[in-house]
Structures are given as structure tokens and as C-alpha cells.
């Protein structure tokens, strides 16, 4: 039997799965398609990492490793939902919840060296590099784009005198200090710190690299960072705008929490000068955010004095952008609360504003310390100041072809990122002792190395040419001649483009700023432009443009053609998932939109049909695509408030439309006969089902847990319609 693997992940996508997966299993069973699940949630990954320390009754399999191996085979057909890329606060919360459920796991702060290493392997973007054995093809499906044109989402007004700006470093950051080499042959490298006395500390040894692999090294100098941040805090105060910082403390799980800590410290210099040692002794680190510090002050004898100092400096500084004005949660409270690829597009969409402490929108100084990609956002801000907000009714699209296969590392270099402990030189050295790259460093600097293999680069170029040819759309490689990494990639792109037929295609190589300017110019003309980017820009662009074009990145189709012939089908972003779960817990209302799951499943079925010869899978996929279009046209996506359609209601209507499409199609008479009575029962009972789903809204929902919900409780919450369940379960 042909098989699809459906991943169980975290937060809102996980709870939505409890509602949607039974429908998927029921419909696909009719086509001989088996749907299996694998738990790659944060809690599941923690338990798998400590399986040898747990009793047999509590052990769970290492599903992520299993899927990583599967992704390298032609048989792979994996639907990947958004998962938590855990920051330390999220990791600690998950551990505490598991402890409360009876799992004997060490606290993160008290973990021994072995346990610390296991937890560190789970932090940040631990899932995606394992599964992404292919490059990314991400775009807005036509049905989604058409819906956005018919039902445009709100866009805030821009004015030419907006004070909103992007602030970034002009020296001594990762971009300015980057070095890069292309390996002439396979080798084993080591990264070492040579201090002023000549003592050598090996930071990373036995680093295997392949011939043709691109290896980079760079450093963010702490002194330059601190000076820059101090300047920007003063600038925001003088300009009367909000101060906001935009980092990626989840994906860039080693470097960006450190940078975030520098921001917190720079904002509260007197507090850390007076009480920094006391905070450090209590284990209260600025890297974990202001919220963690405030939460820990009650246990300190001078906690009241520290709190008074913090309050005084917050009052004296510029107004901070807020995550939640009502609860007093600032931009500096939690490092994982403000993620650049989601926060910057949201700011641009509402007219270049963020929420201030007074609960009102205001212009902001958006601080993005590293200059590698900050110019992209400034280019969009400049364009909006000059020409006003974009119009979803008429604007074009910017699909993306992203280099990410085989852990292509721009931000994925967690095991090669270090906060330097003493001054000296950091060197990348070959097995024969040759120094490939070297940086002078001071204590506190953040140094990192990255690797990108040659085979993924070749595949990336091939995919870009394929997408340009199939879509008839111009493609631009976003590569910066000021960056050593990008200069090496430019040479390889030019080399590998020559291996393809590009006649009649428009393919350019431009810097990210130039590419942004050209893409937004074409957007305003209603024209599409493929952005062909590295791993970080893939992440940024596949939020930036979709949020402006269709209102959310969750509505994008994300296909990963795996390099060995399989398929990975991703289902959109999960950045708003925590707020959705909070609403579900409080009001039994889940406004998560599963459109990404619908799109991914249709592509997965089409891929399965091509690779297995299962023609019924193709019929199912085609019908699902049509049903999804109807769902959008009929406005049956989740609304926002109790008493309206939510995630469960959206699933119920999709089942109606999917069954009706299958009943009406003429490619498979047996499938049509199977689903005709199902469609009739669903349509006839649609009002009853809707009433049953709405009737449970308004009261708190008991899920049994946030990171590790109790399945029986989650099922009861997410499948409350006995009428719908009876019709669906009869198919299984």
C-alpha cells in the first residue's frame, strides 16, 4: 500500500491535526493510501533524546531520526507541519510540563554535561535540517492568490513622512567579517582558538568536508555591537519612535540569544553595571530576556532594588515596542517572541508601525544588528514611503526557490558557533595544518563557521531553471558581492547555469537590496518574480512577501523535491500558533487556518500518484485542490471570535466540498459511487454539524497539556460533532 507520513508537531498545528487527520485517513483509505503519523514535537523529541534514562513504559521512538533516514530514499512522502524551534524558555517550559506528567527529566539549568548536550541538540531549528534533503519551492497557489484579490486583507496606510527606519551595523558584523573558501578536495577540518600566549583550544574537531563544499567563517565583534546598540537606543529616544529589535533566537539558537542579551544589557546599562554580578550568580541571564530576569527577582535579597533600577531605566529610555501592551510584555521580554521574518512583514503591513506601551500603533526604529539582510527590509520600507502600501488586489507575487538541502548552513551552524572566552585568533585549519581562514577575536565576540555542500547548490540552480521554465517567470539569484560566501556562490551559479538550457529565460544575479527593489517594482505592476536565495533569505522572503500578498505565510504551498526522488510537503509557518492555543484553552475556539495542510496534502497525493502509479491518489488530490478553492470562495476559513467558524468548522466544510468533488468527478466511477452518499449526508447535515461545533465554544478547553496534550482530551475537544464523526468514521 502506498504510504504518506503525517507529522505530529506542536501548538495549534498539532491540535488542528486531531480534527483534520481523521478526515484525511477516511478519504485516503478509499484510494488504498495508508497515512501513518510520526511524533516530532518538542516534547516527543525531548523524550526520545532521554529514552535510555526512562523506564520502558515511558520511552518513545526517535521519529525524527527515522524520518531523516526516510528523506534520503525515493519512497519518502512526508507532510511536515510547523514545529516549535525551541528557545531556552520554551525548552524549559516543555521540560517542566513533562516533569509534571511524571517523566523524570533533568532541569535544563541543572543538567549534567551529557544531558546538556542532548537538550542543546533539541533547541532551535533541530527538525528542519534533518528532513530537508532537498531545496525549497515555495509559492502562493493560484486559488489563494485569487482569493486575496477577491477578498483583500487589510493593509495599513503609509506616509512619506513616516519615521520608521531599519537600523543595522555598517562594520564589524557577520557580513563585514565573512571569509569563504571552496574546498579543493575532501578534508577534515578543525576550528581552534589560539590565545595571546600561544595556547590552543580546539573549539571543534573532526569536521568532515567534501570536495567542492563551500565553507565560511565570520565574527560579530561584541564591542562594535554594543556601541551600535547604544547609538540606536539614543536615536530612538531622540526621534520619538519606538525601539524594537528583530532577531531569530529560535533558528539561530546560539548566536541570536547572545545578541538579544546584548540588547537587553544595552537598554539597562546602569542596572547591569550595579547588579550584573548578582543577576549572573542567580542564573538570570539577559540572553533569556527581560521577562526571565523579572520573574527571578523575588528570590534575590536585593530584588526590589534591581526591579526599581529596571523600571527607572525603562522609563528613561525610548518607548519599547510591545508584544502585548495589555500585559506589559515588551519587545525585550522573551527572545523568541519577536522573530524577524514574521515581525518585520507585520510591521510593514500595518504601515510601518508597531504597538507601543500605550496600546497605540507608532513608528519604530527596527534594529537588525547584522547587515547581511537588513537592507532588504529597508528597501521595502523606502518603497512604501515613496509609493504607499501595496494593494493585494493588483500586486504580483514573489515565489521562492531556496537553497536548504542537506543542512545548507547560514544560520544552521549551531555546532560551529561560539562565544569567545578570551582574546586571540580563531582559525579554521586543515588536517595537514594549513590555516584556511583566520579572525582576530576578543572576549565576548560571536564567531561562527558554516558549510554548504556542492550537490545541493547544483540542485538549487537546476530547480531555479526548472521553475523559471515551467512558470515563464523571471528569476533573480539574490547574491551580495560584498559577502565572501555570496561571491563564491555567484561563481558556482554561473558555472552550473551553463549546464542548463536557459534560452528564452530571464535569469539575473543581483544583490539582495537590488533584487528587492526590482521585485517590489514589478509587484506594483502586477508582475511575478522568482527569488532564488540562500537559507536565511528563503526563510525571510517566504514570510515577507506572502504576508503582504495574501495576508499570511501559512497559505503558501511549500514543496521540497527531495534530492533522491522523494517528496517533503511543508504546510506554512507557525508563528502565531501560541496565541491560537491560548485562545483554544480559554474559549474552546481555534482560529488556526489549516489551508497549508490542505495544499500540502494535495501535492503529496499527486506525488504519490506519479511515483507509485496509484491513479486514485491523483483523483483524490485533484478533488482536494478543487475543494480547497471552493472553501476559499465560500469564505469557510476560520474567523477570529467565538460564535464564528473556527478550525474545526473549516475542516467540516472541506469534507463537504471534497466529498462533492469526488462524487462529481468522472475519472473514477467507483470513487464517485463511494462518495456520492457521503457527500449527500454531509450536505444534508451541514447545519447540524455547524451547530454542534459552535455549541462547545466559549468555555475553557481541557487539553491535558500544552507541549504534551493528553490524546483523549485533545480528541474530545477537537472532534465535538457526533454527526460529523459518525459520517467520517464510517468511511474508515
| Average pLDDT along the chain, 732 residues, taken 10 residues at a time | 90 96 96 95 96 95 96 96 85 95 93 92 83 91 88 93 97 97 98 96 96 97 98 98 94 91 98 96 94 94 96 97 93 91 95 96 98 97 97 96 88 84 98 98 97 96 96 97 97 98 97 98 97 94 93 85 93 72 96 93 96 95 95 93 96 98 97 97 98 97 96 98 97 87
| Residue given cell 554535561 in the structure block | 113
Looking from the CA of 476 toward its CB, the CA atoms found within 13 Å total 22
Cα 325 to chain center, whole Å? 24
Q: What is the pLDDT of residue 132?
A: 86
- Terminal CA-to-CA distance of the chain, rounded, Å? 15
Task: Tell me the sheet residues that pair with 4.
Answer: 35
SS3 content of the chain, % helix, strand, coil (to 5): 50, 15, 35
pTM for the model = 0.86
Please tell me whether residue 277 adopts helix, strand or coil conformation.
helix
Q: What is the pLDDT of residue 249?
A: 87
| Residue given cell 515581525 in the structure block | 343
User: Contacts by 70-75 with C-beta closer than 8 Å and gap 24+?
Assistant: 70/5, 70/566, 71/130, 71/131, 71/132, 71/133, 71/134, 71/562, 71/566, 71/568, 72/133, 72/562, 72/564, 72/566, 73/564, 73/565, 73/566, 74/564, 74/565, 74/566, 74/611, 75/3, 75/566, 75/611
Looking from the CA of 465 toward its CB, the CA atoms found within 13 Å total 17
Q: Which residues contact 518 (CB under 8 A, 6 or more apart)?
A: 476, 510, 529
Q: Could you give the CA distance from residue 570 to residue 225 in angstroms, rounded to a whole number?
A: 36
Helices marked H in 528-614: 535-550, 577-587, 595-612
Domain extent listing, the chain:
165-170+222-387
Q: Which of 592, 606, 519 is nearest to 561 (CA)?
A: 606
Q: Could you give the CA distance from residue 524 to residue 512 in angstroms, rounded to a whole number?
A: 18
- Alpha carbon of 27 to those of 380, 670, 671, 674: distances in Å? 44, 13, 10, 10
Cα 15 to chain center, whole Å? 18
Amino acid at each position: 500500500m502506498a504510504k504518506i507520513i503525517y507529522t505530529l508537531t506542536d501548538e495549534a498545528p498539532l491540535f488542528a491535526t486531531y480534527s483534520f487527520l481523521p478526515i484525511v485517513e477516511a478519504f485516503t483509505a478509499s484510494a488504498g493510501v495508508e497515512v501513518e503519523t510520526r511524533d516530532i514535537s518538542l516534547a516527543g523529541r525531548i523524550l526520545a533524546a532521554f529514552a535510555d534514562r526512562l523506564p520502558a513504559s515511558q520511552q518513545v521512538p526517535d521519529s525524527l531520526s527515522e524520518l531523516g533516514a526516510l528523506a534520503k530514499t525515493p519512497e519518502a512522502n512526508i507532510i511536515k507541519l510547523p514545529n516549535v524551534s525551541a528557545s531556552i524558555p520554551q525548552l524549559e517550559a516543555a521540560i517542566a510540563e513533562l516533569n509534571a506528567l511524571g517523566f523524570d527529566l533533568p532541569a535544563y539549568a541543572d543538567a549534567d554535561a551529557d544531558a546538556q548536550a542532548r537538550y542543546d541538540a533539541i533547541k532551535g531549528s533541530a527538525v528542519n535540517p534533518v528532513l530537508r534533503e532537498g531545496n525549497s519551492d515555495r509559492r502562493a497557489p493560484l486559488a489563494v492568490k485569487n482569493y486575496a484579490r477577491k477578498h483583500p486583507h487589510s493593509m495599513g496606510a503609509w506616509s512619506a513622512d513616516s519615521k520608521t527606519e531599519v537600523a543595522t551595523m555598517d562594520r564589524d558584523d557577520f557580513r563585514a567579517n565573512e571569509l569563504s573558501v571552496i574546498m579543493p578536495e575532501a578534508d577534515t577540518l578543525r576550528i581552534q582558538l589560539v590565545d595571546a600566549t600561544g595556547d590552543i583550544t580546539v573549539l571543534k574537531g573532526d569536521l568532515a568536508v567534501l570536495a567542492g563544499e563551500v565553507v565560511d567563517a565570520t565574527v560579530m565583534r561584541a564591542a562594535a555591537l554594543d556601541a551600535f546598540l547604544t547609538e540606536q537606543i539614543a536615536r530612538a529616544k531622540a526621534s520619538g519612535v519606538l525601539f524594537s529589535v528583530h532577531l531569530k533566537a529560535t533558528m539561530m539558537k546560539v548566536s541570536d540569544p547572545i545578541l538579544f542579551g546584548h540588547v537587553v544589557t544595552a537598554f539597562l546599562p546602569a542596572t547591569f553595571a550595579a547588579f550584573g554580578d548578582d543577576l549572573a550568580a542567580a542564573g538570570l541571564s539577559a540572553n533569556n530576556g527581560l521577562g526571565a530576569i523579572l520573574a527571578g527577582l523575588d528570590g534575590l535579597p536585593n530584588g526590589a532594588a534591581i526591579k526599581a533600577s529596571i523600571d527607572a531605566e525603562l522609563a528613561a529610555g525610548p518607548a519599547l515596542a510591545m508584544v502585548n501592551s495589555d500585559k506589559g510584555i515588551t519587545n525585550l521580554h522573551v527572545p523568541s517572541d519577536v522573530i524577524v521574518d514574521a515581525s518585520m512583514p507585520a510591521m510593514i503591513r500595518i504601515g510601518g508601525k508597531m504597538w507601543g506601551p500605550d496600546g497605540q500603533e507608532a513608528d519604530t526604529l527596527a534594529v537588525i544588528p547584522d547587515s547581511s539582510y537588513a537592507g532588504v527590509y529597508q528597501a521595502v520600507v523606502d518603497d512604501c514611503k515613496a509609493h504607499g502600501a501595496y494593494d493585494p488586489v493588483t500586486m504580483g507575487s514573489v515565489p521562492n526557490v531556496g537553497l536548504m538541502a542537506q543542512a545548507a548552513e547560514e544560520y544552521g551552524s549551531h555546532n560551529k558557533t561560539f562565544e569567545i572566552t578570551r582574546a586571540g585568533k580563531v582559525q579554521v585549519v586543515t588536517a595537514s595544518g594549513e590555516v584556511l581562514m583566520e579572525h582576530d577575536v576578543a572576549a565576548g565576540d560571536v564567531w561562527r563557521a558554516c558549510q554548504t555542500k556542492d550537490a545541493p547548490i547544483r540542485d538549487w540552480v537546476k530547480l531555479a531553471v526548472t521553475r523559471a521554465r515551467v512558470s515563464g517567470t523571471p528569476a533573480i539569484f539574490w547574491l551580495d558581492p560584498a559577502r565572501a560566501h555570496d561571491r563564491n556562490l555567484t561563481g558556482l551559479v554561473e558555472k552550473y547555469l551553463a549546464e542548463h538550457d536557459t534560452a528564452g529565460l530571464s535569469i539575473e544575479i543581483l544583490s539582495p537590496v537590488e533584487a528587492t527593489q526590482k521585485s517590489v517594482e514589478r509587484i506594483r505592476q502586477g508582475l511575478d518574480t522568482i527569488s532564488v536565495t540562500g537559507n536565511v533569505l528563503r526563510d525571510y522572503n517566504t514570510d515577507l512577501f506572502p504576508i503582504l500578498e495574501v495576508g499570511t505565510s501559512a497559505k503558501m504551498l511549500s514543496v521540497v523535491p527531495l534530492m533522491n526522488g522523494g517528496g517533503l510537503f511543508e504546510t506554512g509557518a507557525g508563528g502565531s500558533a501560541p496565541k491560537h492555543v491560548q485562545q483554544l484553552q480559554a474559549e474552546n475556539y481555534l482560529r488556526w487556518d489549516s489551508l497549508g495542510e490542505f495544499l500540502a496534502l494535495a501535492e503529496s497525493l499527486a506525488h504519490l500518484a506519479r511515483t507509485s502509479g496509484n491513479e486514485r491518489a491523483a483523483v483524490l488530490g485533484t478533488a482536494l485542490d478543487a475543494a480547497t478553492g471552493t472553501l476559499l470562495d465560500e469564505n469557510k476559513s476560520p474567523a477570529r471570535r467565538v460564535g464564528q467558524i473556527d478550525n474545526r468548522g473549516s475542516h467540516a466544510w472541506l469534507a463537504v466540498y471534497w466529498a462533492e468533488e469526488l462524487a462529481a468527478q468522472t475519472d473514477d466511477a467507483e470513487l464517485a459511487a463511494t462518495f456520492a452518499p457521503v457527500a449527500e449526508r454531509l450536505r444534508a447535515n451541514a447545519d447540524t454539524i455547524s451547530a454542534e461545533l459552535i455549541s462547545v465554544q466559549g468555555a475553557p478547553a481541557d487539553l491535558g497539556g500544552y507541549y504534551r496534550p493528553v490524546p483523549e482530551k485533545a480528541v474530545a475537544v477537537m472532534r465535538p460533532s457526533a454527526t460529523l464523526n459518525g459520517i467520517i468514521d464510517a468511511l474508515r
